[in-house]
């Protein structure tokens, strides 16, 4: 024991923080823990109350948001819903028969997961909501890669068959848009599903036929 103690590497003396430092750190820690609880409570999938949202945004957001700490950590992974399925992007020159640029394509791992998150943002946000500017940005970024200023963007939702259902299902196209540059403006033209834009034609009823 004595030899072990003799051979032990000498340690520099611990620097004990003084009372004032401890008090300051205690206040900072307590404040941060309140901020952490508020961040979780207000970033929930269920939404947040106006009270908690206001308190957090006034007192904590200026510090937590820039540090990427204003997070809900609501890592649910899946509820088995459509929006939880994998999404993929496709860009192709408008009207052309060129090979489409598929993203993530053949890449795998976290890199592919980032492309799928981007595709999901466009799909779940929808072109009427927050997904529109993202879709326009992706299309704009596709101009250089495809060598054109007029592209078609599509987002596909990959099949998520039920355990009890047949496994073979096709990917579903959930977003389709044309993005083009006209002068200095980038335009996004949503492609409506055929049923939404086709004129509805009623079959003439027998009574109407008779009145003629």
Partner 1 sequence: MNGGESTARPSTVGDTWMRFWFSPAPVRPLAIIRILTGILGLLLAWSYADDLQAWFGPAGMIPRDVAAEWRPRWGVSLYDAATTSASVTALFAATVVAFSCLVVGLGSRLAAVAGAVLWASLLHRGPMLAGPADDCLSVLLWCLAVGPCGGDLALDRMLAARAGRAPPAATPWASVALGLLRVHASAIVLAAVLAQLKGDAWWNGTAAWWLASRAGAVDLREAYLGSEYLMNLVSHAIVAFEILFAVGIWFTPVRRTVAAVGLVAWPLIGLLAGEPLWGAAMAIFAVAALLGKPDTGT
Residues 54-113 that bind partner 1 (CB under 8 A): 57, 61-62, 65-81, 84-86, 107-113
Question: Which position among 7, 9, 205, 211 is part of the footprint of partner 1 (CB under 8 A)?
Answer: 9
Q: How far is the CB of 211 from partner 1 (least distance, A)?
A: 54
Between 104 and 176, name the residue whose CB sits nearer to partner 1: 104
Phi, psi values for residue 42, rounded to 5°:
-100, -5
At 187 the three-state DSSP class reads strand
The strand pairing partners of 182, in sequence order, are: 185
Pick from 2, 4, 14, 106: which binds partner 1 (CB under 8 A)? Answer: 14
**Closest approach of partner 1 to the CB of residue 114, in Å:** 4
- Tokens in use for 88? 């993929």
Instruction: Name residues whose C-beta falls within 8 Å of residue 55's C-beta, 6 or more positions apart in sequence.
Output: 38
Instruction: Output the smallest distance, CB 78 to partner 1, in A.
Output: 4
Q: Among 121, 149, 173, 187, indicate the residue that binds partner 1 (CB under 8 A).
A: 121
What is the Cα–Cα distance from 34 to 85, expressed in whole angstroms? 35
Closest approach of partner 1 to the CB of residue 62, in Å: 5
By beta-carbon proximity to partner 1, the closer residue of 46 and 203 is: 46
N residues, the chain:
212
Please tell me whether residue 70 adopts helix, strand or coil conformation: coil
- Integer distance in angstroms from the first to the last C-alpha of the chain? 115
User: Which residues lie below 8 Å from residue 187, measured CB to CB, with a gap of 6+?
Assistant: 179, 180, 181
**Count residues contacting partner 1 (CB under 8 A)?**
72
Nearer to partner 1, 85 or 92 (CB): 85
Nearer to partner 1 by Cβ, of 145 and 208: the residue is: 145
CA 70-73-56 angle, 5° bins: 30
Smallest separation, CB 142 to partner 1 (Å)? 7
- Give min distance, CB of 18 to partner 1, in A: 11
Closest CA to 38 of 15, 16, 12, 61: 61
Residues 131-190 that bind partner 1 (CB under 8 A): 133-134, 136-138, 140-145, 158, 160-161, 163
- State which residue, 116 or 190, has the beta carbon closest to partner 1: 116
């Amino acid at each position: 024991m004595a030899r072990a103690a003799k051979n032990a590497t000498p340690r520099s003396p611990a620097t004990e923080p003084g009372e004032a430092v401890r008090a300051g750190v205690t206040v900072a820690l307590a404040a941060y823990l309140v901020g952490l609880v508020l961040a979780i409570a207000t970033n929930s999938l269920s939404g947040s109350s106006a009270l908690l949202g206001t308190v957090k945004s006034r007192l904590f957001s200026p510090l937590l948001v820039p540090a990427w700490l204003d997070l809900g950590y609501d890592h649910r992974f899946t509820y088995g819903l459509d929006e939880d399925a994998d999404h993929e992007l496709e860009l192709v020159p408008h009207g052309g028969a060129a090979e489409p640029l598929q993203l993530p394509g053949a890449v795998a791992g976290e890199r592919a997961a980032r492309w799928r998150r981007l595709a999901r943002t466009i799909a779940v946000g929808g072109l009427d909501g927050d997904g529109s500017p993202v879709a326009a940005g992706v299309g704009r970024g596709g101009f250089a890669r495809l060598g054109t200023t007029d592209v078609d963007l599509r987002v596909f939702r990959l099949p998520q068959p039920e355990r009890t259902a047949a496994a073979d299902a096709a990917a579903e196209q959930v977003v389709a848009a044309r993005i083009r540059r006209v002068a200095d403006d980038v335009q996004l033209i949503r492609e409506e599903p055929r049923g939404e834009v086709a004129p509805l034609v009623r079959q003439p009823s027998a009574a109407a036929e008779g009145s003629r």
